[in-house]
Amino acid sequence: MTVRTRADLVALPGYVPGRTIPGAIKLASNEVSAGPLPSVVRAIADAATAVNRYPDTAATQLVARLGEKLGVPAEQLAVGCGSVTLCQQLVQATCTDADEVVFAWRSFEAYPIITAVVGARQARVPLTGGHALDLDAMAAAITPNTRLVFVCNPNNPTGTALTRAEIERFIERVPSDVLVVIDEAYKEFVDDPDVPDGVELAKAQWAAGRDNVAVLRTFSKAYGLAGLRVGYAVASPAVAETLRKVYVPFSVNALAQVAALASLDAEAELMERCRAIVAERARVREELLAAGFEVPVSQANFVWLPLGERTAAFNEHCLSHKVVVRAFVGDGARVTIGEPEENDAFLAAAKSFSG
């Protein structure tokens, strides 16, 4: 006898992480190449002596610290095992199999997976010709069954970003019972003043009586803690409370909490590193443009090359030069901005591509 599982999961694709190849430069996963700061490593090492104890499931210290940093009460914060887990919790908290989630496509590839895992339906909305989220089309895609809309800003994998005015106009068109989730995994790499701080935007919406806006952030990217998995949501008290109800106890482990706190202590140094990545991003894009590639303006720690049917060949070409990029076959390649010498190796490979 075969154990019966959900039949609809048979066709569900698994999440595909960026490849790691020994001896090659990995620019496929949007990690920060420099890794955690020495002060953060020391804090993790010191905390390791207490891993025989369960972590604080409420992450009390981290929540309090984030509340101070963001200017929001603790009741409006929820932590999770990376922001991707919070994405899944939000779908769990808002949807049944009769409900629907709207998101742009191509966008963060976990959105369709977590929606299917929960059993909800998905509405994928194509990007604009400029590789950006089409908010007008996303608003038009909302139906009476829609419960949640993901707005990835900056968008992964294209790096394009929306302005404050664009997001505000979109929120005005969304029914008040539909949750708008602004996913800001790459917020720290934004240098365009027209791209808003999602938390500040959400505060203005809450003050105006709209509690259907939530913001996601993570310590995986700018803070260099991808391997420890800690993210957080900022939302109305009711949404944050619901998130905590579907939280898997102890899923943000003790070392992750300590590392996040130590990273906040060293935030000025980390943000300086982000500015260096932003400068490298501009250099890489300029050289790619000069080499004849199309590269949308990115506000994240990566660039997007919309290569279409040439993507697979470009990917193999980069691999032959010991550089691992993230290929979305048929669409394009996403390339993380690494250290200058890593970026130089990628640029050399890209400039020699003739596919």
In whole angstroms, give the CA distance from residue 160 to residue 158: 5
Q: Decide if pLDDT at 14 tops 70.
A: no
- Please give the domain boundaries of the chain with CATH numbers for all domains: 16-35+268-351 (3.90.1150.10), 38-265 (3.40.640.10)
State the burial class of residue 3 (Cβ atoms within 10 Å of its Cβ: 0-12, 13-18, 19+). exposed
Rounded (5°) CA angle 91-177-132: 65
Tokens representing 256?
Answer: 């992750």
pLDDT digits (tens, 9 = 90+) for 139-151: 999 999 999 999 9
Tokens representing 201?
Answer: 């935007």
| Mean pLDDT, rounded, of the chain | 95
Residue 2: what pLDDT? Answer: 77
Q: Decide if pLDDT at 349 tops 70.
A: yes
In whole angstroms, give the CA distance from residue 199 to residue 72: 9
Q: Given strand 302-305, what is the order of strands in its sheet?
A: 302-305, 332-336, 326-328
What DSSP character marks residue 293? -
In whole angstroms, give the CA distance from residue 38 to residue 45: 10
pLDDT digits (tens, 9 = 90+) for 240-289: 999 999 999 999 999 999 999 999 999 999 999 999 999 999 999 999 99
pLDDT digits (tens, 9 = 90+) for 65-101: 999 999 999 999 999 999 999 999 999 999 999 999 9
